[in-house]
Every structure is written in C-alpha cells, then in structure tokens.
C-alpha cells in the first residue's frame, strides 16, 4: 500500500517530538455550509487529522452529544453523498490534512461497498473507521479499501485482550484507535496511567501509531494522554461546542465557527505540551 496523508502526518508530528491532534466533526451539523467552514478552520486551529462523522440513525457507540449532532444533520437532509461532497469541497483548498470518515456500515452497504470505496477515494478521503464492522468481515469493506489506497483504522478497547488483539490489528493501517473507556463517546474521563499501560501493550503487537480517544475534553487531559499516545482524539467536546453555539431552532450563529476554533486551539496547545524525545 502506498504512503497516505495519514502516514505522512503521523511521521511529521513524530519528527516534531509530539503526538498528533485528531479532531471529530459530524458532517452536516448543523448544515453543510457550516461544516465546510469548520473543516477549513480546524487545521488552522491546530488539528492534524480530521475525523468526519457520517450521520446514521442508529449510532450505537455514540454518546448524547454525537447522537444529537447526527440527528440535527439527518434532519437537515445530510446524506452519504453529501458527506463526500463536503470532502471534495475541502480538498479544493487543503490537499494535505488527512480526512477519515467515521461511522457505521449500513449507509455504506446501501451505497454499495465497491462504489463507496471508489467514490471516497475520488473525493479525497484518506481513511475509514467503521465501528460495527469486525475483522471477520474484512472482505466486505476493509480489503477493498486497502486495495484502493485507503487506510482502514480499527478500534481497540479496554476489553480487547492479547488473544483478540492480533485479529483486530490484522489489515489495520494508518493508526490504531484506542477507546480509552468502556462505554459510549463522551461518557467519562480517561485514566492516563491506565491508558499508558494499554498503549504500551498495543505497541508490543504493532508498529502503527496509537491514537487515544473517548472522554478527552480539556487541554490538561490531552497533555496527559498525549504523553504516551501517538495521537489524541477529541470528538464529543468539539461537537458539544457546536451545539452550544446554535440558536433556539438549532441553526448556526456567528459564534459557531469561532467557538470551535477557540476550543480546538486550546486543546491543540495541550496536545503540543505533551513532548517526547525525537528519534535520532
């Protein structure tokens, strides 16, 4: 598989002696134009990688903030094709920031897996995180995605033991996403010491970068997690910042983009405070 934007970005931040800052937005929340403005703002505010959520009506792993964002997006008419359109528009002005689509298999299955892989690659997508597609179903999407040059990023959790981990890591590329807590997104704060132990354990099985998410909300938490992880993922806090900026009808306001920019800038400083030695 050829080198991807994700590979290059993780290599670049490693050379800088710091972890990557991975941010999450829900596509179409609260509307496509606002999402596009937010996508453009994130790299300037310090995001290294952007996860773009594909709204789905039954998001089993998502907490209240991300669920609400998905419902707002779906209510506004967001679709998988429109999500790809957003990536295509983003790529007109940014050809370096990695974009990872995150979501569930049902919309992709409805679109057609082979067609989706082709369309995602053409739009400028770099990787996929499909939370409900296990390694046993790699033929469905993972292997076609890898063949097309898309990274397929797998989740590992606190319950992924050493017996299961090699299976999870098979065909994983780009990075490993370690879910730092048992439960849904945004439901609790991670324990930095336990996360460090988990990251070390995963690294004994793979040379891939390990990014840690679920529950990271503050710059201090980001710095603590980033002291051991290769990447820090923040989603629910950013999505909640969007929600807090909306008007009574759930529409974007003049405060929406600045509110997200301010939060991401603060979090980015936390991530960048997590320095580590640069390999010679």
| Beta-ladder partners of 179 | 213
Residues annotated catalytic, as ranges:
51, 62
pLDDT tens digits for range 224-272 = 999 999 999 999 999 999 999 999 999 999 999 999 999 999 999 999 9
Retrieve residue 87's tokens.
Answer: 């990536």
This model's pTM is above 0.85: yes
CA angle 123–86–237, rounded 5-degree value: 120
Domains defined along the chain, listed by start:
5-273 (3.20.20.70)
53-105 per-position pLDDT tens digit: 999 988 776 778 899 999 999 999 999 999 999 999 999 999 999 999 999 99
């Amino acid at each position: 598989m050829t080198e991807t934007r994700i590979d290059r970005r993780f290599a670049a931040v490693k050379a800088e002696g710091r972890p990557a800052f991975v941010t999450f937005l829900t596509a179409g929340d609260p509307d496509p134009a606002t999402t596009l403005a937010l996508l453009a703002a994130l790299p300037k505010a310090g995001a290294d990688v952007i996860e773009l959520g594909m709204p789905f009506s039954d998001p089993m792993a998502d907490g209240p903030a991300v669920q609400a964002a998905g419902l707002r997006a779906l209510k506004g008419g967001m679709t998988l094709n429109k999500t790809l359109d957003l990536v295509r528009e983003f790529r007109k002005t940014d050809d370096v920031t990695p974009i990872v689509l995150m979501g569930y298999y049902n919309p992709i299955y409805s679109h057609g897996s082979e067609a989706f892989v082709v369309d995602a690659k053409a739009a400028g997508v770099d990787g996929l995180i499909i939370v409900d597609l296990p390694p046993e179903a790699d033929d469905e999407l993972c292997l076609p995605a890898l063949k097309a040059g898309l990274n397929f990023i797998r989740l590992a959790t606190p319950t992924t033991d050493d017996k299961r981990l090699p299976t999870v890591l098979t065909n994983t590329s780009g990075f490993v996403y370690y879910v730092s807590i048992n439960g849904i997104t945004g439901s609790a704060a991670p324990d930095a010491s336990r996360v460090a132990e988990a990251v070390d354990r995963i690294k004994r099985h793979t040379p891939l970068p390990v990014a840690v998410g679920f529950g990271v909300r503050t710059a201090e938490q980001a710095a603590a997690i980033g002291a051991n992880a290769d990447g820090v993922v923040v989603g629910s806090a950013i999505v909640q910042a969007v929600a807090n900026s909306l008007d009574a009808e759930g529409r974007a306001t003049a405060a929406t983009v600045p509110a997200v920019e301010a939060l991401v800038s603060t979090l980015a400083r936390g991530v960048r405070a997590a320095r580590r030695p640069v390999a010679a």
